[in-house]
Amino acid sequence: MAVHSNKTATLIVMLGALLLSSGCGNLAGHKNVDRGLSYIESHEYEEAAACFDAAEAAGENQRILYRAKGILDKNLGQYDSAVENFLKSLAATSGIPGDMDFDTNYYLADVYIKQEKYDEAVEVYDAILALRKRDKDAYYMRGMARLYSGDHDGATIDFNKAIALAGRNYDLRIMIYKALSSNGYEDEGKAILESCLNNTDPNMTNYEKGQISYYLGNNADAQSYLELARNERDMDKAPVVLLLGQTGEKQGDFNYAISVYKTFLAEDPDHPDIYNQLGLCQTNVGDYEGAVNSFEAGLALGNNEYSKALLMNEITAYEYAGNFAQAKTLMEKYRKAYPDDKDAEREEIFLSSR
């Protein structure tokens, strides 16, 4: 099965080649594709594949169909096929590329990074930036690809460009700090965060000061700023509480963190990320039953963004409790939902020996 080169793909999509899809498929609707995407969200991959087969038979929009098939392949860990489908989607673009085409390029680059094909990923981001010269996300992601490939200087240039375009986006600076730190450049990452505090922004909130202090390791300062933020009337309390609890965790004070999380959830229980963090704390103090209950409460909220972490952490809690039978049962469920998780594959092998 032939796969286009990435250079060909970028020419097709980013320079807006006047390539029209053959037949009437490009003019058709996409109700089967939409159903298939819903199945992907609920990790029902066989049902999604059946919907995409039906979409193909019905002649639904090829650009949308191939993109959806690529997303399915990506979730299944079938990266070669995902690349091919994303390229087909891009090739079916007619005229000037739109938001969906840029989105597909991001998917394509992400798959290249998963394949450790960093040069190909960089080329995709090059193509995005050729048309969207102020796209801070593309600069950040190109910096990540360059960092992974060992191009530290190129990564630094891209990160600096992203920061320059990001205004008061402290979350982006924190993500860059994490990337540099985890790849052996912690001092450089810290310098980025320190500059946020040194060049004091008069509009910097207590939460933002707490965030920066937390990642710099200044836990006492972080706790002070976050306690102030927690008491502010119009502040979104959930991210404040999450980080405030983690200041306690970093100092080994899990009981403080547990108290912070439980107090908040008693008033506002619709936060799977905080249930997840509470469960991790309970696991750390040996309260495995409490941890399982917390992870289950988080899963019951049905938020797909956090279901993966919650389910894996629940498996770990059952393992620590010595309940390997339940851990195995949940691992089967996890592997069906997240077949591309290679770490879980190794964990499943470990559990099979128990």
52 touches 31 (CB < 8 A): no
CA–CA separation, 97 and 288 (whole Å) = 51
257: its two tokens: 């963190």
Residue 79's pLDDT is what? 97
CA–CA separation, 169 and 225 (whole Å) = 18
Residue 5's pLDDT is what? 42
At a CB cut-off of 8 Å and minimum separation 6, what does 121 contact? Answer: 109, 110, 112, 113, 141, 142, 145
DSSP 235: S
In DSSP terms, which residues pair with 18 in a beta bridge?
94
Task: Set out the domains of the chain in order of their start, with CATH numbers.
Answer: 1-130 (1.25.40.10), 255-354 (1.25.40.10)
266 by Cβ neighbours in 10 Å (0-12 / 13-18 / 19+) ranks as exposed
* Helix %, strand %, coil % of the chain (to 5): 75, 0, 25
Query: For the packed helices 304-320 and 288-300, what is the interaxial angle rounded to 10 degrees?
Result: 160
228 touches 252 (CB < 8 A): no
DSSP secondary structure of 301-314: TT-HHHHHHHHHHH
Q: Residue 81 CB: number of other CB atoms within 10 A?
A: 18
Backbone angles phi, psi at 18, to 5 degrees: -85, 70
288 touches 320 (CB < 8 A): yes
In DSSP terms, which residues pair with 94 in a beta bridge?
18
Residue of 207, 212, 266 whose CA lies nearest to 242: 207
Q: CA 79, 81, 84 angle in degrees (round to 5)? A: 110
CA 43 to chain centre: 16
Query: What is each CA distance from 319 to 88, 322, 347, 354, in whole angstroms?
Result: 44, 5, 11, 10
Q: Residue-wise pLDDT tens for the chain (354 aa)? A: 333 344 434 433 443 332 223 333 333 578 999 999 999 999 999 999 999 999 999 999 999 999 999 999 999 999 999 999 999 999 998 778 889 999 999 999 999 999 999 999 999 999 999 999 999 999 999 999 999 999 999 999 999 999 999 988 999 999 999 999 999 999 999 999 999 988 777 889 999 999 999 999 999 999 999 999 999 988 899 999 999 999 999 999 999 999 999 999 999 999 999 999 999 999 999 999 999 999 999 999 999 899 999 999 999 999 999 999 999 999 999 999 999 887 876 777 666 666
112 touches 120 (CB < 8 A): yes
DSSP secondary structure of 165-187: HHTT-HHHHHHHHHHHHHTT-HH
Q: Residue 91 CB: number of other CB atoms within 10 A?
A: 18
55: its two tokens: 């979409």
